[in-house]
């Protein structure tokens, strides 16, 4: 089943980008910290997102990813700017085995 949201014609308050990733078996604590630190620096380097939260999985379920990043953007344009920015493209990914993301819009009630 495929679901495609047509967000381009909606009045929205925020775009939320959720990323989960699994690191390679060879990833060290220093590798994960380098990834974390690079993500933490992005708002100052790019000017967006509005807010980013990130952290390692708590280990409550064996099938979970290793790490998650959740970022909030004021617009689709801001999200696209973020994705294309050289600082985002330079985030170390050598030790990322897999990554999955989803974006959704939040519409706040009046």
Q: What is the CATH number of the domain that holds 42?
A: 3.30.70.100
CB atoms within 10 A of CB 73: 22
Answer whether residue 108 is part of any domain: no
Phi, psi angles (nearest 5°) of residue 78 = -60, -40
pLDDT, one tens digit per residue, over 45-73 is: 999 999 999 999 999 999 999 999 999 99
Which residue range forms the structural domain that includes residue 43?
32-94
Nearest to 69 by CA among 108, 46, 109, 35: 35
Residue 15 lies in a domain: no
pLDDT of residue 9: 54
Q: Is residue 8 part of a domain?
A: no
Nearest to 87 by CA among 19, 52, 41, 49: 41
Its pTM stands at 0.85
**What share of the chain in percent tops pLDDT 70?**
88
Residue 100 lies inside a defined structural domain of this protein: no
Sign of the four-CA dihedral 98, 91, 33, 105? negative
**Is the link from the previous residue into 95 a cis peptide, with omega within 30 of 0?**
no
Instruction: Give domain status of residue 18, yes or no.
Output: no
Tens of pLDDT, residue by residue over 93-103, are 999 999 999 99
């Amino acid at each position: 089943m495929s679901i495609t949201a047509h967000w381009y014609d909606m009045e929205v308050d925020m775009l939320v980008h959720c990323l989960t990733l699994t690191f390679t078996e060879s990833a060290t604590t220093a590798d994960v910290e380098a990834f974390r630190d690079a993500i933490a620096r992005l708002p100052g380097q790019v000017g967006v997102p509005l807010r980013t939260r990130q952290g390692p999985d708590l280990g409550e379920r064996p099938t979970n990813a290793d790490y998650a990043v959740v970022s909030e953007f004021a617009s689709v344009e801001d999200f696209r700017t973020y994705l294309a920015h050289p600082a985002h493209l330079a985030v170390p990914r050598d030790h990322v085995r897999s990554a999955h993301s989803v974006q959704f819009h939040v519409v706040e009630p009046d």
